[in-house]
With several copies, the nearest count.
Chain A
Amino acid sequence: MEAVPKLPIGQWVEGFVEVLGQYKGVLFDPLSIVISAMVTYCSTVLAEIPSLILILLLGAAAWVFAGRASMVFTVIGLSLIHNLGYWDETIETFGLVLTATMISIVIGIPVGILCARHDTFRNLVTPVLDLMQTMPAFVYLIPAIFFFGLGEVPGVIASVIFALPPIVRLTNLGIRQVPAEMEEAADAFGATGWQKLVKVQLPYAKSTILAGVNQCIMLALSMVVIAAMIGAKGLGADVYRAVSQVDIGRGFEAGLSIVIIAIVLDRLTQYAGKKERNT
């Protein structure tokens, strides 16, 4: 074993990154522009709305989707963030996380569906997912800066890389758990693959897929500090600043704001799945 010389994988990767860098304009700039626009759109739209009104709007949404307790929590939680003085940062973080989540959902659910349908595809995708979740963000953040510069964009990309896998995995799982008899019923009526998916598999797998979306949101939120390390604004930067200054209290406050966003989003997604039958 010792006989084999060390493979120069590191160099290959560096070479690869360099090559990629040459096609930056074609490969990454459009992506960069789109993501940047999305984040900006999300945060500016939200920032436009007066905080009080936004809090009430979100509270109302929570009421409709998730019931009264959630509404109370949403209003109190967001007010607390406001009180602590993290409102603007919260909006920025919202923008970042929503963008990352949306991208993850848009990519993750279809990929998860394909995984559920094709074993080979699943077998190919799984190690990639493992890689996405365990390759430390720090490792690819540096190349990400080469390609996307500092700021929100690499933050969103890192979040997507980390937060996408649970959606794929749980979509795959959920669809595979659909009982055979239900798929047979759909087949027997001549459903196309798409109809079977939309009318039978996805509705049945909903709670599992939503668990994936929930994990996705959580992981995206857990990346905000990392995102802050490459220049994304928002609560992550506050946390990081507080941490650098060994200010546990302030760090906790900013962290708490992230947690409140997490709980609000969690409520909304989880209950959205259940609020259907009212008997």
Chain B
Amino acid sequence: SSQNTNTQIPTATVVGPIASETSDNALGEKLDYKIIGIDAGAGSMVKTEEVMNLYGLDKWQLVEGSDAAMTAALIKAYEAKEPIIITGWTPHWMFKKMDLKYLADPKNGFGGPEQIHTIVRKGLKQDQPAAYQFLDKFWWEPADMESVMVQMIDGKDPEVAAAEWVKNNEAKVAKWVEGIQPVQKEKLTLAYVAWDSEIASTHVVEHVLEQKLGYEVELSQVQTGPMWAGVAIGDVDGMVTAWLPSTDTSYLEKFGGQIKDLGPNLDGTKIGLVVPSYMNISSIEDLK
């Protein structure tokens, strides 16, 4: 559905001739020179500011809000087939529900791909070596994660979706727990934020810990900051949802000394400027 939508916008307050509508000016004016961002101060927001400087988008302004607000704005625009530019990331369910595309980043301002790291509290290695070993080994592909997410979006409970995925991927899972001695009903707490990607991964991890390693896992759904803080003070044993190096960078700075980073559990995530596919631009440079 990447047709040219310009003529479908009856309320467009276009200044120039139709031909120049695709120019940055027209689009910029139509968007009030606003890029819809997420939580003020989030890692990707900081990155986006840098990118905007890099490309000299002085006229543009990054609107701070929250991810929910951003998503809502995106849905609103998408349904009306109006133009919108957001700061986006994958994996995210919005790419499943809508036809979206990243704007090209020729200057590589957003840097390399993001990773999702596993972070545990200090001392977990001694206290719960089994869980520690598993979490250290836990690593999967974006496609794995997405297959869980798709199930969830179709209305399955996360637990069910996770269990099904584990059933269908016994081989992969077996590798994660290979050689680890199961325990007897030890308690373990994991924290996560309520995004679909994190819900998916955390529930898979929970399922494995409980079914394969004999743990009793408690999940704690929190906000990003409290999640990091929880691990840092040892209130939570770990989490598999740290977006690094960009998105959660400030948390790593703050709590780096009080946690143990077990490295990525997923490669190939991405952040960048995202637009609906029906929009007629393809690169950040087009915004100039």
Contact = CB atoms under 8 A, between A and B. Distances in A.
A150 B230 CA distance: 6
Interface in A214-258: 228-231, 237-238, 240-247
B247 to A, nearest CB: 10
A231 B230 contact: yes
B156 interface: no
Interface string A110-143: 0000000000000000000000000000100110
A243 B225 contact: yes
Contact of A142 (B34, B41, B220, B226): B226
A228 B224 CA distance: 12
A247 B253 CA distance: 11
B93 A245 contact: yes
Contacts of A229: 39, 65-66, 68-69, 222-223, 226
Contacts of B95: none
B73 A145 contact: yes
B194 interface: yes
A151 B229 CA distance: 12
A146 interface: yes
A138 B68 contact: yes
A146 to B, nearest CB: 5
B183 interface: no
Contacts of A243: 41, 68, 225
B283 to A, nearest CB: 25
Contact of B196 (A145, A231, A238, A245): A245
A246 B226 contact: no
B254 interface: yes
Interface residues of A, number: 22
B235 A244 contact: no
B36 interface: yes
Given A245-B196, A246-B68, A146 B250 contact: no
Given A142-B225, A145-B226, A244-B39, A150 B69 contact: yes
B64 A228 contact: yes
B75 interface: yes
A149 B68 contact: no
B75 A246 contact: yes
B226 to A, nearest CB: 4
B194 A240 contact: yes
A75 B48 CA distance: 38
Interface residues of B, number: 44
B64 A142 contact: no
Contacts of B66: 229-230
B67 interface: yes
Most B Cβ at <10 Å: residue of A138, A151, A238, A247: A151
Interface in B178-232: 191, 193-196, 199, 220-226, 228-230
A240 to B, nearest CB: 4
A230 B93 contact: no
A241 B64 contact: yes
Contacts of A246: 68, 71-72, 75, 225, 228-229, 250-251, 253-255
B233 A231 contact: no
Contacts of B12: none
A237 B65 CA distance: 8
Most A Cβ at <10 Å: residue of B42, B195, B225, B228: B225
B246 to A, nearest CB: 13
Nearest to A246: B254
Nearest to A239: B40
Contact of B233 (A138, A149, A230, A242): A149
B100 to A, nearest CB: 14
Contact of A237 (B34, B40, B224): B40
B221 A240 contact: yes
B76 interface: yes
B236 interface: yes
B63 interface: yes
B48 to A, nearest CB: 13
A26 B158 CA distance: 40
B191 to A, nearest CB: 7
B222 A150 contact: yes
A254 B66 CA distance: 18
Contacts of A241: 40-41, 64, 194, 199, 221
Contact of A231 (B75, B221, B228, B251): B221
Interface in B38-66: 39-42, 45, 63-66
Contact of B68 (A146, A228, A238, A244): A244
A145 B41 CA distance: 20
Contact of A149 (B67, B71, B235): B235
Interface in B63-117: 63-69, 71-73, 75-76, 93
24 contacts: A141-B68, A141-B226, A142-B72, A142-B229, A145-B73, A146-B75, A149-B73, A150-B63, A151-B63, A151-B235, A229-B69, A229-B223, A231-B220, A237-B64, A237-B194, A240-B39, A241-B194, A243-B225, A244-B42, A244-B68, A244-B193, A244-B194, A245-B41, A246-B71
Leading 9 A-B pairs by shortest Cβ distance: A244-B41, A241-B41, A241-B40, A149-B235, A229-B223, A229-B66, A241-B194, A245-B250, A246-B254
